[in-house]
Amino acid sequence: MYDAPNLGAKVEQKTNKIEANGVQVYYGDTHAIKDVSVAIESNTVTAFIGPSGCGKSTFLRCLNRMNDTIDICRIEGDIRLDGEDIYDKRVDPVQLRAKVGMVFQKPNPFPKSIYDNIAYGPRIHGLAKSKADLDEIVEKSLRRGAIWNEVKDRLHEPGTGLSGGQQQRLCIARAIATEPEVLLMDEPCSALDPIATAQVEELIDELRAQYSVVIVTHSMQQAARVSQKTAFFHLGHLVEYDNTSTIFTNPRDERTESYITGRIG
Amino acid sequence: MNAGLVILAVIALATLGYFVGRARALAKAGGDIRGLHSLPNYYGQTVFLFTAVPALLVCVGWLLLQPLYVEHRVSDMITPADIAEGSSQSLVMADIRRIATGLDTAVARGALTGADLSSLSADATDVRALLAGVGVALASEVKGSVLAAAKEYRAATATLKMAMSVVVILIALAGFVLSLRRLRPDFRARNVSETAIKALLILASSVAILTTVGIIFSLVFETANFFGLHSAADFFFGLTWNPQFRGGSDLGILPLLWGTLYVSFVALLFAVPIGLLVAIYLSEYASNRVRTIVKPAVEILAGIPTIVYGLFALITVGPLLRDYFAQPLGLGTSSSSVLTAGLVMGVMLIPFVSSLSDDVINAVPQSMRDGSYGLGATQSETVKQVILPAALPGIVGAILLAASRAIGETMIVVMGAGAAAKLSLNPLEAMTTITVKIVSQLTGDTEFASPETLVAFALGLSLFVVTLGLNVLALYIVRKYREQYE
Ligand SMILES: Nc1ncnc2c1ncn2[C@@H]1O[C@H](COP(=O)(O)OP(=O)(O)OP(=O)(O)O)[C@@H](O)[C@H]1O
Ligand SMILES: [Mg+2]
């Protein structure tokens, strides 16, 4: 059901990319995340699973300070990226988000051409030295997003004209184009067909060589296929966090077991 | 019976029909609502509609056609000899109508009896004095043929009114009876109601459209008269505007058009950037607390009457610009100038641009902002590259609305820019606009049929064409943009 390639070979080089300690999140009076502590390792795919509304997206958005854009959202606790507190006053959230990229639950291409959608991040951060350079970044990103073949002849048509699944892959390609160190993906495959899903999973596996990837998913099979670590959330609590193999074969908490076997949801 | 009473009677009958219809439908279904195709109210409405609508339509049609018919009949009784020197057929007809109403009043007040009336003749009685006694003043003595026509007019009107009452009430009764007889439990009363609502909606929108058509027609008609009296080439291409009382005026639209466009341009140059920046600040940067104070404060500007802006231009801005810019720079000595009117009008337009743009920007989905922030863009990068492009069609709409407002503005221009028609590039000189000249040509002692007055209609039509053109342009831009991005 799951594969753990080269787990043994690489395990000793892994460091903690992100460390969260005692994180609490409130939306006004709603307590959405309750005392969550988790360490996300570099060169690892971490899956967040859990029933709808349990706070997976909320926690994910804490990791790149996207919750700053929500007025009523309040965050307590400590989140460190490479040992540096990301909620420290000296940290520029804009800089942080360039390092911690995000793919959202709903595809949200900009009302621009496909090319400009991908080139958006590289242009803002000055990643391309020339037009040819930019062209190359765009092509590479689209290829890695598994959508190049479908759009290579219509790069200058609007990104909003693509189908839902194509839009989602466009957004994935857009996020990789800025070369983040951590990629947060909120249900990236929920609108994709099995072929595109397989392509995206392959991409995620490939990204692991350079980045940390955190993926929220409702598909147990997907979590088992792509991730090395799995975190199970329930009602705002982090119930269990362990190697994916352990979670799926030998969970410690009975809530985890019920969830992955489909008894609670 | 007069028309008002007839209409009331029809409505009363229809209301009765509503209750009877409802009760009858229920009774036919044996008191069980589930046995009916529609709720009982709909059966009531059906009877109401069948009773009232045809009868009222006939009534309205009759009221519209009756005067036409009567006048046609009466006008045959007037010979060209009855029309005095300097008068016209239509003036005589107006006299006849006045005499007829006068006679009605006289009979109603008892100054005349029915018998008196039939024997009344212009030679025997002083009709003018008689009518003056009941408050109807006539310009001249009443001729025999005119009096006869007036009597005929009165008689025909009375007969037709009577006939109308009878016909309308009969139709209402027929509708009442027929619709009640057709009520069966499986009658689709809901659908009748639906059709009636649709018809009502169509009627409402056609009022708007027909009014527009009417306005255009009256403008076109008077404009055609104007071009009959004045050369079109002078109007469209003449470079001077110089109306004379004694005729021989130069009525070139170009100086006025230039003034209009120049003042509007200055106003938009001022209002669009400021309005847009205000909108961006309010929707993207301002905290909720600031927003609740600033937004209404800006919108107050839209509520200030334009005459107050005019005063501001006249008393404050005009002299200020003259003393600190125009005179030191040697560009003019007048306190009214294009710049004065443009700036003050610009202030007036700020809320138009800002309020609409704010709404449009707020309508851009949050996911667009998230997407951009998630890629590490700053707020201003997000606004510039994602939000403004996404909101562009709406913003163009806001700007064009402000532009039509600017082009149609009158008061600020009169008081700020003056009334001198001039073709000049200097923004510190007095100029004037089309709207100002329309007002000044129509308010005055000039004769209504002279080209100096009729030119107002030609100016109005030109203004209309310009604003229409702007709207078409707006649609075109918006549509083009949509095709690209949706
Ligand atoms: N912007 C917000 N304002 C107020 N409450 C919110 C907001 N976003 C999320 N919440 C609340 O926080 C809780 C967690 O929501 P979250 O979106 O993180 O769930 P999720 O685990 O991602 O669910 P799903 O799997 O359905 O996406 C929910 O109870 C939700 O109602
Ligand atoms: Mg979610």
Q: What is the ipTM score, two decimals?
A: 0.87
By mean pLDDT, which of A174-188, B20-34, B44-58 is the weakest?
B20-34
- Assess whether the C-beta atom of A11 lies below 6 angstroms from ligand 1: no
The answer as to whether B232 is a domain residue is no
Q: Does A194 touch chain B (CB under 8 A)?
A: no
Dist. CA A188–CA A173, nearest whole Å? 11
- Partner-chain contact A120 B373, CB within 8 Å: no
pLDDT band of residue B471 (cuts 50, 70, 90) is: confident
Quick one: pLDDT at residue B170?
95
Task: Quote the CA–CA distance of B154 and B156 in Å, as a whole number.
Answer: 6
> Which residue is closest to B390 within chain A, CA to CA?
A111
Burial class (CB in 10 A: 0-12, 13-18, 19+), B241: buried
Query: Which of A65, A94, A105, A137 to mutate to probe the B interface, most B CBs <10 Å?
Result: A94
Size of interface A-B (CB pairs under 8 A): 78
Whether residue A4 has pLDDT greater than 70: no
CB–CB contact A104 B370 (8 Å): yes
Query: Is B434 in contact with B463 (CB distance < 8 Å)?
Result: yes
- Using the atom order of ligand 1, give the atom closest to the CA of residue A50: 21
Q: Span B65-72, mean pLDDT?
A: 88
Q: Which ligand is nearest to the CA of A186?
A: 2
| Closest-approach residue (CA) in chain A for B379 | A94
Structural domain total, chain B: 2
Q: Does B248 share its domain with B187?
A: no
Q: Does A229 sit in the ligand 1 pocket, CB within 6 Å?
A: no
Q: Are residues B337 and B447 in the same domain?
A: yes
Q: Same domain, yes or no, for B108 and B46?
A: yes
Q: What is the Å distance from ligand 1's center to B64 Cα?
A: 65
Q: Would you say residue B212 lies in a domain?
A: no
- Domain hosting B7: range is 3-205
Q: What is the mean pLDDT of residues A113-123?
A: 94
Tell me, yes or no, whether B37 lies in a domain.
yes
Residues B251 and B343 in one domain: yes
* Listed residue (B23, B25, B19, B3) closest to B51, CA to CA: B19
Q: Share the mean pLDDT of chain B.
A: 87
Residue B247 pLDDT > 60? yes
Residues B241 and B184 occupy one common structural domain: no
Judged against a pLDDT cut of 60, whether residue B122 lies above it is answered with: yes
Q: Do B485 and A71 touch (CB under 8 A)?
A: no
CB-CB under 8 Å, B374 with A102: yes
Judge if B194 and B242 occupy the same domain.
no
Residues B335 and B448 in one domain: yes
pLDDT of amino acid A1:
44
Same domain, B195 and B46: yes
For domain A16-260, is the CATH number 3.40.50.300? Answer: yes
Contacts with B381 from chain A: Cβ below 8 Å: 124
Alpha carbon of A103 to ligand 2 centroid (Å): 12
Taking the CB of residue A254, how many other CB atoms lie within 10 A of it?
Answer: 11
* CB-based contact, A111 to chain B, within 8 Å: yes
- The tokens of B96 are what? 């006849």
Same domain as B100, residue B45: yes
CB contact under 8 A, B376 and A174: no
Can you give the pLDDT at residue B1? 61
Q: Give the pLDDT confidence score for residue B110 in this predicted structure.
A: 76
> What pLDDT was estimated at residue B154?
86
> Touching check for A102 and chain B: CB below 8 Å?
yes
- Arithmetic mean of pLDDT, A84-109: 91
- Which of A209-223, A251-265, B121-135, B373-387 comes out lowest in average pLDDT? B121-135
CB contact under 8 A, A120 and B375: yes
In a domain, B231, yes or no: no
CA angle A49, A55, A58 (to 5 degrees): 115
Q: What are the residue ranges spanned by the domains of chain A?
A: 16-260
* pLDDT of B161 strictly over 70: yes
Q: Is the pLDDT of residue B120 over 90?
A: no
Question: Smallest Cβ distance to B389: which of A97, A108, A111?
Answer: A111
Is the CA virtual torsion A176, A180, A186, A187 positive or negative?
A: positive
The mean-pLDDT minimum among A212-221, A233-242, B312-321, B412-421 falls in B412-421
**Placement of tokens 């194509």 in the chain:** A166
Residue A123 has pLDDT above 70, yes or no: yes
Task: Verify that B37 and B102 share a domain, yes or no.
Answer: yes
